[in-house]
Chain A
Amino acid sequence: MGTLRIETAKGKVAFEPGASLSGTASWTVAGTPRSAELRLIWYTRGKGTPDASIVDSVSFVTPRASDSRSFSFALPLGPYSFSGKLISLVWALELVVEPGPDVERFDLVLGPSGSEVLIGGAEAAHEGAR
């Protein structure tokens, strides 16, 4: 089992639509990876079948067993991060280093004023998401 890490510039986790998202992806795994990829994704959680979509991705060329790479994405205008009682949509960065089971995910908020949209009386359990 290796160590994977995603860090955004200045530790930022909340972004406005269309903003630039940059940072560093780093990993230490047992052998030389066949591939290393960072994906910008959204996924849903809730009562129904989970859904997900890869919006953008960057493949790191000739990854080493222990490596660190910078990245930058232009965030799309939507969909916004939102939560209701039945479904939540979450943006995230996902670092996948193959072969192996190593995956790291870093959740983000994409929304107006960098806030998650709460609908239908859903209450955020995280104080920081209010």
Chain B
Amino acid sequence: VIRLSSEAEAPEAAPEAAVEVDAERQAMLDTLTAALGDGIVGTEIAGGDIWVRVANERWHDAVSACKTKLHMDYFCFLASLDWLDNPTLAGEKVWGEPPAEESTADDAATDDAATDEAGSDDAGSDDAGSDEAATTEPTEVDPAEAGSTPAETGPATGVAGGDTRFQVFARLYSTRDKRGITLKADLDEAAPTIQSISDLYAGADWHEREAWEFYGFDFTGHPGLRHIYLPTEFEGWPGRKDFPLLAREVKPWPGLVDVEPLPGGGEDEETPAQTAAVVEGGDAQ
């Protein structure tokens, strides 16, 4: 059972191994396609990893197929995703090249909208929801409007795509083949419901409780969805993007003040004056 690690993989065989692994993942995908047919709605094999997005009603079948046909015996995690754009969060703040574009610094970044638009143009991602929301009051994002924007399909909803605001994704792993897979499924926004996989993997029980607690997803067939971290009396779904983070409401994100120019920094970096200008308008509440 015990074996030496360094003898297993010779360094010079690494490029060939990478190709081999991708072929293996393609074989995994073929097995799943044979089992699920048109239940698979999106796939991606990249960077030594595989993503498979399945239809909501085939979620249980897909996990079951992974367990039985792909020998995925190890349950890693199950988690949830909310693709709503919330411009008050740093994750969506695309600042582009702030020193380069706004180097005049007289009017620099008077509000969030200007900065966000500049940034998203630069990044080339379709942040339609973000732009709409930024022009209005950031805290008053209408979830229905932003979530149903057709521009959200495509790269904005991540690897293997997505059609709705909510997604569930689970990671399974084979301790025999030393390979993992990420399964995804879309959930309806008004009534996010999906089958429970806790009958297949006992470890999914707590993860589904967590997903229910933070995102309000209903797992049909789960033995008992109840709070796991938060108090029983807690109301609301705090993981969702439209749930305000109270610490940030009280004290907004300070913007680029965190990135201090180093003494004697490179010529392509911003000057202190520019940083100050960005910070001033940086994160108007």
| Bind each other | no
**Chain B residues near A (Cβ < 8 Å):** none
Chain A: residues with CB nearer than 8 A to chain B?
none
